[in-house]
Structure 1
Amino acid sequence: MGPSRGSTHFTATSTELTLNYGRVTANGIDFSYAEEGTGPLALLLHGFPESGDVTYRHLIPALAAAGYRAVAPNMRGFAPSSLPADGSMLLSDLVDDVNALHQELGGGADAVLVGHDWGAGMAWAAAATTPERWSRLVVSDVPPLRFFAAYSSTFEGIENLNHFWFFQMDMATETVAADDMAWLRRGLQEKWTAPGFDAGEEIDGMRKALGEPARLRAALDLYRTNFGPRQMGTPEWAAEHGRLWGSLPTQPTLYLHGTEDRSVVMDQQTLDAIGAALSESNSASEAAFVEGAGHIVPAERPDRYNELVLRFLTKEV
């Protein structure tokens, strides 16, 4: 499959892999993306404070070798994708971005959707609201809404997700930007990844994606506009999030979670409950832990993550 309408491409080569980088306009946003391979579309959605090509640097070539066109865009606001003209970082607009990317990249009914962290929420919502676009779903690190909501309201969840609440403060903008984003660098190295993992590439990707003040403000607005103190918990807020990602996907779905995740901490009982709920919607769905991984599963334990993803995508259902 060649470049989509209005996209431009160049090739970057490293010692590990060769990626094509392109741009495409979808839902009014000029998206930058990394891609490799030909075949059915596999759209890979990253989280905060990351970038698509870094988070999925190991999965992209594995999917390409398996016969997919793996495309990892940077979400709106994250450089070098464009900032939204209206400033919106609402989840509903992010989901519209996902579905527009499917259209502009030439995706068919056989397209696969992969999401991590914020990309997980986007994937749950896109798969539920436009199921005809996505044949299978792979999600990591943020479980379905009913499970995430239950966790985030516990003492442990509130403590471990403290960045959700800190980012609401006006002081957070200056604090997070200070000293080359030292707060986020420590988060990536000391909390959001497992002990012993070298988060250097994640930190470099963060610098490129969020190094400009307007980019960092947009990233913080993910939390301020979707989990703001004035609307969070209101009936209107609950209805909107329920509409977007309250339903479980009807497609075969694989949910993966790191055993060393210190942000969304999960035990076996909860993982089993997630697997059972997903299986009720589609009997081919699964849930599994990735041993030794923290919150950024695709990058931290790529061999095991890729193995589980490719086995799931190739199994008969």
Structure 2
Amino acid sequence: MTAPREIDVTTPDVTLRVLVWGSDDAPIALCLHGFPDTAHGWRKVAPLLVDAGWRVVAPFMRGYAPSTVSSDGSYHVGALMDDALRVLDAVGPTGRDVLIGHDWGAIAGAGLAAMPESPFGRAVIMSVPPSASFRGRVPHLGRLVAGLPRQMARSWYIAYHQLPWLPDHSASWEIPRLWRQWSPGYASHEDVALVRTAIGAPENWRAALGYYRQTMRGSKPPPRYAELHDYWLAKPVMPVLYLHGTEDGCASSDYSRWVERILPEGSRTELVADAGHFLQLEQPDVVARHIVGFIGPH
């Protein structure tokens, strides 16, 4: 398959570099990556989706070079959602488009899946459960609470990112450590090199940390993102496929049982065996088969 085309999408806040695979007249599968990853993380799944008739459009998320950092310092979920909608508008929505999100892209994707009158017909959420899964009256609360100590140990980096100064100088060791922890057994050298290019520079690394700092501290987004931002905690209203690797060292695959309860009719959850957090790179054939089985071929 040929290398992806590159386009730039300029918004009032950032300029986003976007990778595009497939025909310009095909419906769009808009793929959003997470931390610490890049748009290149879709390179193994993209050809399989293109073979099924889709055009894969994958932006580098704001702050991840060659996309720019935010001019107003916003890394709120609402800003990520706005970026996704602007990329879709720039490449030309077809009315048959779908969203695929992993990690932070999954968080933004869950927000977009909760939007009334969303331009996407279906969503695929990967590796990070929608926040609505753990809100309200949560069933099997004892089982959920029993797993918290192990999950808190896995999530050490979230608390670490809230510290002053020290995390800002940790990119060189934290990126490879998280890949080893989250996808044990996966040969991640190529991907770690790509991530270091994207967020290894101090300005970009601080931007990547901003996702965690602004979300965990509950800071308010700029007014232009406020309306979208309200959706990221809500339940999806469109059919969702939730995928999670059984060997994920970032978030437990057990959480899929709580995801199931908040998904609308026509949704489903699937566990991907022998895959860690970056399941689209570790088991691309299996992941693509699940995705195409859900969104359909064109």
TM-score for the superposition, normalised by structure 2: 0.87
Following superposition, the deviation at residue 170 of structure 1 comes to 1.4
Following superposition, the deviation at residue 28 of structure 1 comes to 3.4
Residue correspondence of structure 1 range 215-230 to structure 2 within 5 A:
215-228=204-217
Corresponding position: 1:308 with 2:297: no
Q: Secondary structure at the match of 2:170?
A: helix
Q: Which amino acid aligns with 2:234?
A: S
In 2, the alpha carbon distance for the partners of 1:260 and 1:240 equals: 36
Corresponding position: 1:75 with 2:45: no
Following superposition, the deviation at residue 174 of structure 1 comes to 4.3
Residue correspondence of structure 1 range 103-118 to structure 2 within 5 A:
103-118=89-104
Match of 1:43 in 2: 30
In structure 2, relative to structure 1, the CA distance for the partners of 1:134 and 1:240 (3 Å cut) is closer
Is the 1:109–1:132 Cα contact (8 Å) retained in structure 2? no
Which of 156, 175, 182 is 1:192 aligned to? Answer: 182
Following superposition, the deviation at residue 211 of structure 1 comes to 2.0
In 1, the alpha carbon distance for the partners of 2:46 and 2:106 equals: 17
In structure 2, relative to structure 1, the CA distance for the partners of 1:315 and 1:65 (3 Å cut) is closer
RMSD: 2.4
Is the 1:27–1:100 Cα contact (8 Å) retained in structure 2? no
Is the 2:77–2:229 Cα contact (8 Å) retained in structure 1? no
- Segment of structure 1 superposing worse, 115-124 or 92-101: 92-101
Is the 2:236–2:262 Cα contact (8 Å) retained in structure 1? no
In 1, the alpha carbon distance for the partners of 2:60 and 2:11 equals: 12
Corresponding position: 1:29 with 2:11: no
In 2, the alpha carbon distance for the partners of 1:297 and 1:121 equals: 16
- Segment of structure 1 superposing worse, 18-27 or 242-251: 242-251
In 2, the alpha carbon distance for the partners of 1:119 and 1:42 equals: 13
Cα-to-partner distance string for 1:250-306 (whole Å, 9 max, x where unaligned): 222110000001211122xx424423431xx22x21101000111111111111111
Match of 1:165 in 2: 159
Q: Which amino acid aligns with 1:79?
A: A
Q: Which amino acid aligns with 1:182?
A: W
In structure 2, relative to structure 1, the CA distance for the partners of 1:300 and 1:172 (3 Å cut) is farther
Is the 1:26–1:101 Cα contact (8 Å) retained in structure 2? no
In 1, the alpha carbon distance for the partners of 2:164 and 2:34 equals: 22
Match of 2:196 in 1: 207
Which of 257, 264, 268 is 1:286 aligned to? Answer: 268
Following superposition, the deviation at residue 113 of structure 1 comes to 0.2
Q: Secondary structure at the match of 1:76?
A: coil
Q: Which amino acid aligns with 1:246?
A: L
In structure 2, relative to structure 1, the CA distance for the partners of 1:65 and 1:301 (3 Å cut) is same
Corresponding position: 1:296 with 2:278: yes
In structure 2, relative to structure 1, the CA distance for the partners of 1:73 and 1:148 (3 Å cut) is farther
Q: Which amino acid aligns with 1:183?
A: E
Q: How many residues align?
A: 282
In 2, the alpha carbon distance for the partners of 1:35 and 1:208 equals: 20
Following superposition, the deviation at residue 307 of structure 1 comes to 1.0
Following superposition, the deviation at residue 202 of structure 1 comes to 1.5
Following superposition, the deviation at residue 242 of structure 1 comes to 8.7
Match of 1:176 in 2: 170
Is the 1:77–1:84 Cα contact (8 Å) retained in structure 2? yes
TM-score for the superposition, normalised by structure 1: 0.82
In 2, the alpha carbon distance for the partners of 1:115 and 1:167 equals: 22
Is the 1:175–1:183 Cα contact (8 Å) retained in structure 2? no
Is the 1:141–1:295 Cα contact (8 Å) retained in structure 2? yes
Which of 48, 55, 70 is 1:84 aligned to? Answer: 70
Q: Where in structure 1 are there 5+ consecutive unaligned residues?
A: 1-15, 233-238
Match of 1:11 in 2: none
Report 1 or 2 for greater relative contact order, CA contacts < 8 Å, sequence distance ≥ 6.
Answer: 2
In structure 2, relative to structure 1, the CA distance for the partners of 1:207 and 1:107 (3 Å cut) is same
Match of 1:265 in 2: 252
Corresponding position: 1:255 with 2:242: yes
